[in-house]
Structure formats: structure tokens, C-alpha cells
Structure 1
Amino acid sequence: MTATTIASTPVRQSQLRPAIAELQPHLVEWRRHLHAQPELAFQEYLTAEFISRKLKKWGIEHQTGIAKTGIVAIIDSGVPGPVLGIRADMDALPIQEENQASYRSQNPGKMHACGHDGHTTIALATAFYLSQNRHSFKGIVKIIFQPAEEGPGGAKPMIEAGVLKNPDVDAMIGLHLWNVLPLGTVGVRSGALMAATEGFRCTIFGKGGHGAMPHQTVDSILIASQIVTSLQTIVARNVSPLDSAVVTVGEFHAGTAVNVIADTAKIGGTVRYFNPALRDMLPQRLEQIISGICSSHGAKYDLNYWRLYPPVVNDAKMADLVRSVAETVVETPAGIVPECQTMGGEDMSFFLEEVPGCYFFLGSANLSMNLAYPHHHPRFDFDETALGMGVEIFVRCVEKFCI
């Protein structure tokens, strides 16, 4: 099903408890404040200050300055029980916003174009509600406000700083507002939800010369072109048809004149997959193809391959928990979308490698309000009704897990 088809589904009314429904004006206010002041990775100082100021006002214990700008809030019920972590990312993107809303970005070249302002708002409101209703659960809830999801990644340095310890987190949940799905739906599944995110850049070293005398050269553009084409055989012929993977070349730079054969060519791209078993095979085959083609033409190469995020893999029991809760908040069965995988990446994956958990999508598109632009688009925005729904789902997950 295409994004456009899904987003055209009629908007559904969610089931919110009165105390959370009453927070909706505050959710909109907080989200719009954050949206107007976007900050890039590891620069979320004003965002962190805003969060900390609210937590202090509400008397919520928290630690700041983790991995530069990260925050961990602790809501202790006072009764022994499990520890549940809730994660929200805070960073924006280097995009010039084209929306004309009153709350549009006031920072040139920076924009909350992926919904992280909404994620932060939902987590902040969840902290407030739980702090006012500690009798409704047992144990402890850790709310992790994480920097730099868009890259280079803030989850791993926060984990290394010990955010999953003292007390040890038993499980994690998190959500992503998702304009691929309409308001009133939740995308949740066990197993792989989002793909591993890896990248490469390669320089081909040939021998330049006159375009009219190709026999005197080693044509780097021809070689690079063959590599681009041959890399597509990795998914077509080396990955099982039952698995999903992507090898995309997104950069190709070469040449300075129409009558000159370039001595170097540069290509770069991204590699995505769900199955962790493909982790080693994909870069190995990529280099084998590059090496073989270069060798056959008498060229050399320099390859830089890096891994950004592993795949986001949900624990089956935690996915069942989120699904059972979501079914009480949105209309079912149409409100639950089980097959909602994407080749997009997310560093929530690092948390889910450490503890069992579930990351899920909360539908936020509303075509009738022209709020269905895709993520990372300069006109991205979402239906703010989703904010209260996110709080309700988080709170119900706490109440069901922390018993």
C-alpha cells in the first residue's frame, strides 16, 4: 500500500482519558515552541533547557548533560517493581522550512522535519502525567530524551554513559510520529521494523587522457559506471528473495570537460537490510565487485565503508504489549497496521540491542488539513491530535508493564 493511499484513510477518533485530553492545549503549545527553535545534533541546548525547566517545575528527578545534551528523567512510584524506559529524540535537520505557520522555524537552515519536536512533547507530557499519578503503576519509569538521532547518533553514547543502569532498565518503548500512516492508526510489529543503515564512498583511480584517444587511458567513468550497474546484482542474486535489502548509489562525481577522460571517479551510496545475518556479506560482496571490475580494467580504488545504525528489531512480547494497548486507544482492526516496515534507519536500535523493547509508528497524517508531506520534506508537518494519542499509549504501556 502506498503512502498516499494510507494517508487518505478517514481520520479516526482516539480514546483518551480526560486528564490527558485536558493536556492537549499544553501539548500543542510545547510542540510549537520546540518547532520554532530547532537545533541540530548535539546542539540541543535550548531544547534541553526547556525540558529541564519543565521537569524542575513538576518536581521530577532528572539528570542533564548526558552525551552533551541528553536528559534522563526518573519517575519512581515508590513501590518495588520493574523499570521501563521510554525514549524520545530531540534533534532537528539541516533543512530550510517552507511552511508559513506561525510556529515555523526561527533558525535559518534548521527545521523539525521529522517529528522529533512531537516526540519530545509526548515524552514530556508522559513524565508529567506519571509524576501526578504515581499510584497507577509500580516500579520506575525512565524517560530518556536523546540527542542526535539524525546522525551521528546519540543513543550509543547515552548507553555508554549508563542511562540503562542504576536502576537497570528491564525493557524499552519508543514511538515515531509517522506521516506514512493517517491519524488514528498505529503501526506495530514484532521482529524487524526498520533497517540497518550503512554507507560507502569509493574513489576509482584510472588514467586520464584525451577523449579522442581512449586507448591511451584507463577510463574511470566507464569503470565506475560498470560498478554502479553491477552493485545491483548483490540484492538481485546474493540476497534471498525472502529477505529485503537495498544497495543504492546516490553520488557519482567525475570529469571536468567533455573531451577529457577523467583519471578519477567517485561514487557513494547507502546499504540497508533487516536481517542481521546480512551484516558481513553485503560489504564483502560490494568490495569484491569493486575490486574485480577495477582489476579487470587496470584501475585501483579506495573504499570507505561505515556502519551507522543496526536494524530496529522489536521483541515479540513487548510488541504484543504495545499492540494490546494501541487497540484500546484507536479503532480496530483498521487502526492497527502490522506490516509497516521501512528501509529507513533509527538509532533506537542500539537500545533494543541492549534490552527487549518495541518501537512503533503513530499515524500523524491528515490529508484534509494538508498535513501529509513526507518526513524530511521542507513542508513537513503533522496533525497535533496525535500528541495526546501518543501520551495515552505510553501511559497505558506503563500501567500494563509496571504491575
Structure 2
Amino acid sequence: MKRFLLTLLCFASSLFSAQGLNSQKETGTNLSKNINEQPVHQSVQLETDKVFNKLVNLRRTFHENPELAGKEKQTQEKIKQYLLDLGLEVQTGHYGYSVVGILKGDKKGKKIAWRSDMDALPNDYPDPEVFKSKVKGVQHGCGHDIHMAIGLGIAEVLSKNRKYLKGTVYFIFQPEEETFKGAKELLNNGLLSKINPNEIYGLHVTATPVGQIMVKPSEMFAYQKKIRIQLKKGLSQEELNGLTKKISNSLFRVSSGSKPWEIQSIVDPKIGLTNPDTIFKDYLFTDGKFSTYSKNNESFLEAYLYETNASNVDKIIPEVQKIVEDSGYKNQLLSVSFVQENPTVINNEKLTKSAIEILENLYGKNAVASDYGQVPFFNDDFAYFQQKIPGVYFFLGGSNFEKGVIAMNHSPNFQVDEESIRTGVKSFSSLLIERLNRN
């Protein structure tokens, strides 16, 4: 893993250093041209800069005091007090340690929700930050501390610009994302029926260059499924290994020479997410070897698989059944099933196009990078919200390769350039204002 991170650092630094500088210069020119004509977005920039250092300190406090899914009690209290100090109405009790902040604009209009996740990870990876976790075995190794700081920053910037707001913004701080439980339980407890937002937005910091916003209509991640083959006991380990190899080979579809499981390649301009010919599209593969175990005189084979094409998912189980039967184990086969099949994040096409248009009009044509792929391994329970109301989920770059900062989630030495907070607050405050002001 360490070698993987060093490899990412080396090639990404050379790929992005010159490109990043040119992009910033061009974006800055377009920015001044567009923003100077719009006082509300000038104010957004000024207020973002004023609150930035406070948000950095807040993020570091979250980072030092992480809480696992279902235990976000101190985190809830800090978020609640911050929102109350801004003058927002605050609700708790919808589910777990969730917090909902309600900001009403000076004018009536539609309702928009912004979601930030709260929980940390159970790991003890090396952390390069000075402000390390004070809780043994628990870390903010996925960037939710950054997400909360951005959510609170947007709330503060918008609260200082109420006069421009036509409608209401709901800031949903959601617990238990890492267990893929929090969003679903909030919905089961009727959150959306109580606040009735028209649309919802959220983001995730990722390993792309700091400040780069990336988005696409439709799926942001591959469809992740956990498949289980249940057999009568009696096959030797050698037979089980041979069967799983046949299944893995059958469930394997990638473009020639590509390796979409090498997640570090998402930042490579030649094959990564921003290239129309990215390797991160049109693939199917299993996550390593199948695990095998026995229970009650039965054998079980299990593996995660990643498929980019929704129409192919229903074909997988019949295909695996056929492989088992054709291998001579028809009488031993008891069942083939998906035992875990979480929904994937699917962005609303109309809202995504609107968001891109708004951000590019305000902050220049390089404000948003096109995403042409689907990321394997990761997912987000934000998908449950999108099943109920139109929504858009963004990637926000957090890596600074020149400084050796690599925001590869769930990895050792995970680190985020905190300038991403400034970009997130500024850009998405402007986006929410514009979306509120459109019918």
C-alpha cells in the first residue's frame, strides 16, 4: 500500500503541476469577469475567505476527535451549537445523532437540501497530520471531517446572505454513512416527508487535484454486489479453488490492457476519470479471490464484484449458475444469490447539467471537470436520498501532489489539502443560491 501511494505521488506530481497552474490562471480570469457583475457571489467569496481559518480549525477538531458510526454524540453537539450560533433552526431526533439545520431566506421559494456525513472509520493507519486522532483505533480516514467543515461553512456563508435567498436550505448532517445505514434510516423515519426538499446535493473529497470539482450525470460509482454460491459440502479445497477461478474469469470484462482495479489511476489524465477514453468504464471484475468457508455441512463461496452497466447486473446470477452446473456440480449447487447489493449514486441528469452550467458561468470554464468513468470499490448511501428526490453528488479534489498530500480515502497516510474547504464552501454556496433563485 505504501508503494502504491508513492507511485501515485510520483506520476501525479509531474502530470498535474503545470496543468494545475494553467488551469488556476485561466479560471481566475474568467472568475473576475463573471463575479464582478454579481454582488451576491462577490459576497460569497468574501465571506468564505473570512470564515476559512475558522473552518480549518473546526475540521482539525473533528479530525482529532473522531467517532464511529452510531456514536457521533460529541460531533452532533458541536454541529448543533455551530448552527444555533448562526441563528438557524436546529432539529435532532430524526435518527441517531443526526442534525438538521434549517436556513430560511428572506424571500419565499423552493426547498433545497445539502447533506454532509459525520462518522469516522475503525482503523489505525499512519496519519501524517500533526492533529492526529486522539481516539485509538478510530480515524477520519475518509474525509468526513472535511465534509462537515464544508457543510457548516456553506451554512454560515448563506446565513450572511439571507437577503439573496429565495427559499429554504436544509443542512442534513448524517450519521452512519460508513455502515451504509444512516441515510436509509433517516428516510425510514420520515425525514423527507417532514422537510419536503425539492432537490438534494452532497460531495465527497477524493484523490484528484485540490479544488477540482468533478461530476457527471448518471452513475458516479460502479454497481457493487456481494455474490454468494452455496453448495452441499463435499468439494475439496482444490475443487473449490478451481470453481472460483472459473467464475472469476467469467466475471471479467475490461478494455484491452486496462486495470480499473488500480484505483490510483483515477487521477491520470491519459486513462483516468477526466479522459473520455478512461479505463474506468465498461468493466466487470471481482474483488480479489473468493472467500470460502463451511457451515452446517455446506460450503459457501463469496466475493464482491463491480459492474458499470446496470443492464448487465441481472445476468450475473444465471451466468454463475451455468458455470457451476457446467463444471459438474449441478447436484451440489443449492443457491446463487446477491447477499449485499447497495444502490449506487446516480446523479439526476437535468440537475447535473444545471449545476455544471451555473458553476462554469460563475467561476470559469475550468470550474468543473467532466467525469467519464465510474469508480470501483467505493460507494455512498447518498444514493438512498437520490431514490426519493432528484440529487447531485460531486467529487471534490483534495490532493496536492507537489506537497505530497494524497487524499486517497481509506488508505494509510490519507491527507487532505484544506484549501479544498475554501473551494467547496465558495462554489457550492453559489450553486445553492442560484438553484434557489431558479424556478
The residue number in structure 1 matching 2:431 is 397
Q: How big is each residue's C-alpha offset from its partner over 1:301-332, in whole Å with a ceiling of 9 and x where there is no partner?
A: 56563234212111122112221243357664
What is the letter of the counterpart of residue 319 of structure 1?
T
CA distance in 1, matches of 2:74, 2:304: 32
CA distance in 2, matches of 1:340, 1:243: 8
Matched, 1:324 2:357: yes
1:20 partner SS: helix
Pairs within 5 Å for 1:32-181: 32-179=60-207, 181=208
1:386 partner SS: helix
Matched, 1:189 2:232: no
2:329 partner SS: helix
CA distance in 2, matches of 1:250, 1:83: 46
* Contact residue 286 and residue 306 of structure 2 kept, 8 A: yes
- Deviating more after overlay: 130-139 vs 337-346: 337-346
Of residues 235, 247, 255, the one that matches 2:286 is 247
* Contact residue 199 and residue 306 of structure 1 kept, 8 A: yes
CA distance in 1, matches of 2:117, 2:211: 22
* TM-score, scaled relative to structure 1: 0.85
* Contact residue 97 and residue 104 of structure 1 kept, 8 A: no
**Structure having the larger proportion of residues in helix:** 2
RMSD of Structure 2 on Structure 1 (CA): 2.8
CA distance in 1, matches of 2:308, 2:301: 24
Deviation of the 1:67 alpha carbon: 2.1
2:426 partner SS: helix
* Contact residue 329 and residue 392 of structure 1 kept, 8 A: no
Matched, 1:226 2:233: no
Q: How big is each residue's C-alpha offset from its partner over 1:19-54, in whole Å with a ceiling of 9 and x where there is no partner?
A: 101111011101111111111112211111110111
CA distance in 2, matches of 1:289, 1:38: 46
Q: How big is each residue's C-alpha offset from its partner over 1:186-245, in whole Å with a ceiling of 9 and x where there is no partner?
A: 1111121112332134454433xxxxxxxxxx42431343233224313449xxxx8433
What is the letter of the counterpart of residue 252 of structure 1?
S
The residue number in structure 1 matching 2:274 is none
Q: How big is each residue's C-alpha offset from its partner over 1:111-152, in whole Å with a ceiling of 9 and x where there is no partner?
A: 111111101110011112212211122111111111122113
What is the letter of the counterpart of residue 229 of structure 1?
K
The residue number in structure 2 matching 1:371 is 405
* Contact residue 172 and residue 357 of structure 1 kept, 8 A: yes
- Deviating more after overlay: 273-282 vs 38-47: 273-282
Deviation of the 1:276 alpha carbon: 3.2
Amino-acid identity (%): 26
Deviation of the 1:58 alpha carbon: 1.8
What is the letter of the counterpart of residue 90 of structure 1?
M
The residue number in structure 1 matching 2:329 is 295
1:194 partner SS: coil
The residue number in structure 2 matching 1:310 is 343
* TM-score, scaled relative to structure 2: 0.78
Deviation of the 1:363 alpha carbon: 1.1
1:23 partner SS: helix
Matched, 1:385 2:419: yes
Q: How big is each residue's C-alpha offset from its partner over 1:174-196, in whole Å with a ceiling of 9 and x where there is no partner?
A: 111111x1013211111211123
What is the letter of the counterpart of residue 374 of structure 2?
Q
For the structure 1 residues 287 and 146, does the alpha-carbon distance in structure 2 shift closer, same or farther, using more than 3 Å as the test?
farther
CA distance in 1, matches of 2:80, 2:388: 26
1:66 partner SS: coil
List alignment gaps of at least 5 residues for structure 1: 208-217, 256-262
List alignment gaps of at least 5 residues for structure 2: 1-6, 32-43, 255-280
What is the letter of the counterpart of residue 136 of structure 1?
Y
* Contact residue 113 and residue 172 of structure 2 kept, 8 A: yes
1:121 partner SS: helix
CA distance in 2, matches of 1:193, 1:186: 13
* Contact residue 88 and residue 145 of structure 1 kept, 8 A: yes
CA distance in 2, matches of 1:250, 1:201: 13
CA distance in 1, matches of 2:383, 2:190: 16
* Contact residue 112 and residue 200 of structure 2 kept, 8 A: yes
Deviation of the 1:253 alpha carbon: 4.3
